[in-house]
């Protein structure tokens, strides 16, 4: 820890909550808890990041977070610090919100989680409830317990009621998986579908039940392994829904059906539900791809054949080729064509490009020799770090600039700004008015009326007047 590191100034008496890791999950969680009235210490060992947060900069884009940060820096309910050990000493409930990136074999890398457990072990100055929020494989809680006992040099032991023996120092480990979506993190925090708490003692249960008592939603109380598995199973199931509807969309294109209507038709069945049935370019982001691979790895490790999930991943990966094939179908040769890319973030409402499908599409099109002009309302700085500007790739400041001289526009992220496009005006500045929509954002008829050739996902797109071909030369 650096010499001039920042430390929490609270005492043990007001029993603040400590949140370790101030990223996309930790920061909204910390601010949410502050808004619920708790005293929260948010710790991160990245002193630069903490410095920015202390100055009111969340360091990433998430609706509402900057405002809530300003509010609770001012109220004093949220205290960002870079002294992780001191933050552990000051808190009684300690949330682990550090990263669990994936290793090359797909397994979750739990190095940061273990590091946190070691810090907790060395700073047990009273009862602590250590709560996993990061997505971790089942039985991580057991490893956390062992780690704390080991690194406390035998001085600590799990709380009474836990499997192992008693004092001098007591702690519990719980699993309280987060289900926050990026772009809707605060909305999800304050209005969750459910809260899952995996606990191993009454004390841990009471602390968590009390903490979340202001939130009105079903509470699933269970053991730690079950709670850990719930998170993985939820993300795997949602990924499966997306891959399922994506395959249905391919079939729709073949038989002239409309995937939007199919999704509505099946989604109105309560047993299926309408959400996560938007066909498109596939899922991306920090969670789904990584968590699915970790779940597959967990199943393999335990000898369970979960090849269903391997297929979910395979389908998702093939969406890049599907989309690039659609672009090729729309404009024929890709080499030398100017393509305007609308949207880089892995979904709307965030500046996050981790595992964004857009990056893979851009890489493929660049390799094919296309000239790419990119625009995103929030994610351009992050993308520029991954894909530097070059003669083949340039960054634009508006949709109008992207469209100048383009042979096609490719819509990759469903930003609200893109729903409002003045297509008639864009048509005027494009070389060829072609729109390839990876998110089914538009009404095909309206796009045609604006004078565009339109290609979307899983829809029998009407062919504009004059574009009909003889049955022997079908373009679709
Ligand atoms: C996800 C989970 O939803 C959340 O509960 C968990 O805590 C973290 O992971 P997030 O990654 O923020 O949240 O995004 P989400 O809204 O779930 O979307 C994930 C990806 O799936 C995005 O790329 C999105 O575009 C894609 N998606 C989503 C679809 O392609 N179709 C859909 O119908 C829904």
Pocket flag, ligand 1, residue 172 (CB < 6 Å): no
Would you say residue 5 has pLDDT above 80?
no
The residue-averaged pLDDT of 336-363 equals 97
> Closest ligand 1 atom to the C-alpha of 346?
23
Please state the rounded mean pLDDT for residues 102-124: 91
Confirm if 314 and 320 have CB atoms less than 8 A apart: no
Is the CB–ligand 1 distance for residue 283 below 6 Å? yes
Mutational test site, ligand 1, from 283, 354, 413, max ligand atoms within 8 Å of CB: 283
With a 6 A CB cut-off, is 207 part of the ligand 1 pocket?
A: no
Asked whether 278 lines ligand 1 (CB < 6 A), one says: yes
Atom 33 (ligand 1) nearest CA: 276
Instruction: Give 97-145 as a DSSP string.
Output: ----PBPTTS-B--HHHHHHHHHHHHT-SS-EEEEE-S---TTHHHHHH
Confidence of residue 237 (pLDDT cuts 50, 70, 90): very high
Q: Which of 97, 197, 252, 287 is catalytic?
A: 287
Phi and psi (nearest 5°) for 167?
A: -35, -175
Alpha helices in 353-405 (DSSP H): 357-367, 380-386, 399-403
- Ligand 1: residue of 187, 227, 238 to mutate (most ligand atoms within 8 A of CB) is 238
pLDDT at 106: 83
Distance separating alpha carbons of residues 62 and 386, to the nearest angstrom: 20
Q: Note the pLDDT of residue 159.
A: 61
HSE-CB for 87 with a 13 A CA cutoff: 31
pLDDT of amino acid 236: 97
- Rounded to two decimals, what is the model's pTM? 0.90
- Going by alpha carbons, the residue nearest to atom 28 of ligand 1 is 276
Binned at pLDDT 50, 70 and 90, residue 169 comes out as low
Total Cβ atoms within 10 A of residue 366: 17
The CA 184 to ligand 1 mean position distance, Å, reads 11
pLDDT score, position 274: 97
Active site residue 287: yes
**pLDDT tens digit sequence for 417-457:** 999 999 999 999 999 999 999 999 999 999 999 999 999 99
Domains of the chain from N-terminus onward: 17-222 (3.40.50.720), 232-317 (1.10.1040.10), 319-455 (3.40.50.720)
Burial category of 346 from C-beta neighbours within 10 Å (exposed 0-12, middle 13-18, buried 19 and up): buried
Q: What is the pLDDT of residues 10-38, one digit of tens each?
A: 333 346 899 999 999 999 999 999 999 99
pLDDT of residue 462: 57
* Ligand 1 binding pocket includes 313 (Cβ within 6 Å): no
Ligand 1 midpoint to CA 33 (Å): 23
- Indicate whether residue 287 lines ligand 1 (CB < 6 A): yes
Specify the residue for token string 């392994």: 225
Orientation angle between helical segments 224-255 and 288-301, nearest 10 degrees: 120
Q: Which pLDDT score, from 0 to 100, does residue 472 have?
A: 39
* Atom 15 of ligand 1: nearest residue by CA position: 181
Cα radius of gyration (the chain): 25
Distance 415 CA to ligand 1 centre (A): 14
- pLDDT, position 326: 97
Q: What is the mean pLDDT of the chain?
A: 91
Atom index in ligand 1 nearest the CA of residue 275 equals 33
Q: Is 289 in the pocket of ligand 1 (CB under 6 A)?
A: no
Q: Is the CB of 285 under 6 A from ligand 1?
A: yes
Question: Ligand 1: distance of its center to the CA of 413 in Å?
Answer: 12
């Amino acid at each position: 820890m650096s010499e001039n590191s920042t430390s929490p100034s609270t005492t043990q008496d007001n029993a603040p909550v400590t949140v370790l890791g101030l990223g996309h999950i930790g920061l909204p969680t910390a601010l949410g808890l502050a808004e619920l009235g708790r005293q929260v210490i948010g710790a991160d060992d990245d002193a630069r990041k903490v410095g920015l947060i202390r100055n009111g900069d969340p360091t990433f884009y998430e609706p509402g977070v900057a405002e809530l940060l300003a509010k609770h820096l001012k109220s004093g309910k949220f205290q960002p610090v870079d002294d992780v050990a001191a933050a552990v000493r000051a808190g009684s409930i300690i949330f682990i919100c550090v990263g669990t990136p994936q290793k090359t074999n797909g397994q979750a890398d739990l190095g940061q989680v273990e590091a946190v457990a070691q810090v907790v072990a060395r700073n047990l100055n009273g009862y602590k409830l250590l709560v996993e929020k990061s997505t971790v494989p089942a039985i991580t809680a057991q490893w956390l317990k062992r780690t704390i006992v080991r690194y406390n040099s035998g001085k600590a032991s799990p709380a009474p009621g836990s499997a192992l023996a008693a004092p001098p120092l007591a702690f519990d480990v719980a699993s309280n998986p987060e289900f926050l979506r990026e772009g809707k993190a605060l909305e999800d925090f304050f209005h969750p579908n459910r809260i899952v708490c995996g606990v191993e003692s009454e004390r841990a249960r009471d602390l968590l039940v009390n903490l979340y008592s202001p939130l009105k939603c079903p509470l699933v109380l269970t053991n730690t392994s079950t709670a850990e598995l719930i998170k993985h199973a939820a993300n795997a199931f949602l990924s499966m829904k997306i891959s399922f509807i994506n395959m249905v969309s391919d079939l729709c294109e073949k038989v002239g059906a409309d995937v939007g209507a199919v999704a509505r038709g099946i989604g109105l069945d309560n047993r299926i539900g309408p959400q996560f049935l938007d066909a498109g370019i596939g899922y991306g982001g920090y969670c789904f791809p990584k968590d699915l691979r970790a779940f597959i790895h967990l199943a393999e490790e335990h000898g369970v054949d979960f090849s269903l999930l391997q297929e979910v991943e395979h389908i998702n990966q093939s969406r890049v080729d599907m989309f690039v094939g659609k672009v090729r179908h729309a404009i024929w040769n890709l080499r030398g064509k100017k393509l305007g890319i609308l949207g880089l973030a892995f979904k709307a409402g965030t500046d996050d490009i981790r595992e964004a499908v857009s990056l893979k599409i851009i890489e493929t099109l660049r390799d094919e020799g296309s000239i790419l002009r990119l625009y995103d309302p929030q994610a351009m700085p992050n993308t520029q770090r991954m894909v530097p500007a070059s003669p083949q790739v340039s960054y634009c400041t508006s949709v109008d600039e992207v469209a100048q001289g383009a042979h096609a526009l490719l819509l990759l992220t469903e930003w609200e700004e893109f729903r409002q496009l003045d297509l008639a005006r864009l048509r005027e500045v494009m070389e060829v008015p072609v729109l390839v929509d990876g998110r089914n954002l538009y009404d095909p008829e309206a796009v045609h009326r604006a004078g565009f050739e339109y290609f979307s996902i899983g829809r029998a797109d009407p062919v504009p007047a004059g574009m009909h071909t003889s049955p022997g030369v079908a373009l679709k």
